[in-house]
Amino acid sequence: MTTAKVGIIMGSQSDWATMKEAADILADLNIACDVQIVSAHRTPDRLWTYGKTAVDRGLHVIIAGAGGAAHLPGMMASKTRLPVIGVPVQTKALSGVDSLYSIVQMPRGFPVATMAIGAAGAANAGLMAAGILALSDADLAERLEAWRAALTDSIPEVPGDD
């Protein structure tokens, strides 16, 4: 049993620069996460075991990022009832539209909550996971409210010089 309630998985080490944005948000909010490389294509047995044991290991939500033929989030959603938040990683060839389309069009019955392409999508995945956990964690709900208020306060009313 892990103490982490959020699992972050990604198809490759090369996705970490993007997926770290989700991990950073969770760290800001003092939420423990378990980070692993899992690929539907390259490590299918690892994906199978991860999905099969996710609930018993104490995870409540999974953030899954992948690029290109990004089947990882959908395959994970097929294997576990836990909510899966998908992050389309930006690609060179097709700018991440390939990743987005691979993740977002799930068949009825096995949803993936799909974020925007790239780093902002990964950060929002962290916030989405936090929002889900905050439903049953009053302290976290307070921290999330404070995080959001701080962001709002940081937005200037008029543009300055860059």
Ligand X SMILES: Nc1c(C(=O)O)ncn1[C@@H]1O[C@H](COP(=O)(O)O)[C@@H](O)[C@H]1O
Burial class of residue 48 in the structure, from the number of CB atoms within 10 Å of its CB (0-12 exposed, 13-18 middle, 19+ buried): middle
Q: How far apart are CA 36 and CA 23, in angstroms?
A: 12
Interaction of residue 63 with ligand X, rule CB under 6 A: no
Q: Which stretch binds ligand X (CB under 6 A): 8-16, 54-62, 80-88, 128-136?
A: 8-16
Interaction of residue 117 with ligand X, rule CB under 6 A: no
Nearer Cβ to ligand X, position 42 or 148? 42
Interaction of residue 71 with ligand X, rule CB under 6 A: yes
Q: Is 78 annotated as a binding residue?
A: no
Count of residues near ligand X by CB under 6 A: 17
- Contact 61/76 with Cβ under 8 angstroms? no
Q: How far apart are CA 9 and CA 26, in angstroms?
A: 14
97-116 footprint of ligand X as x/- string (CB under 6 A): --------------------
For 114, the 3-state DSSP assignment is strand
Burial class of residue 130 in the structure, from the number of CB atoms within 10 Å of its CB (0-12 exposed, 13-18 middle, 19+ buried): buried
For 127, the 3-state DSSP assignment is helix
Interaction of residue 88 with ligand X, rule CB under 6 A: no
Q: Is 24 annotated as a binding residue?
A: no
Q: Is 15 annotated as a binding residue?
A: yes
Interaction of residue 86 with ligand X, rule CB under 6 A: no
Interaction of residue 14 with ligand X, rule CB under 6 A: yes
Interaction of residue 69 with ligand X, rule CB under 6 A: yes
Binding residues for substrate: 12, 15, 42
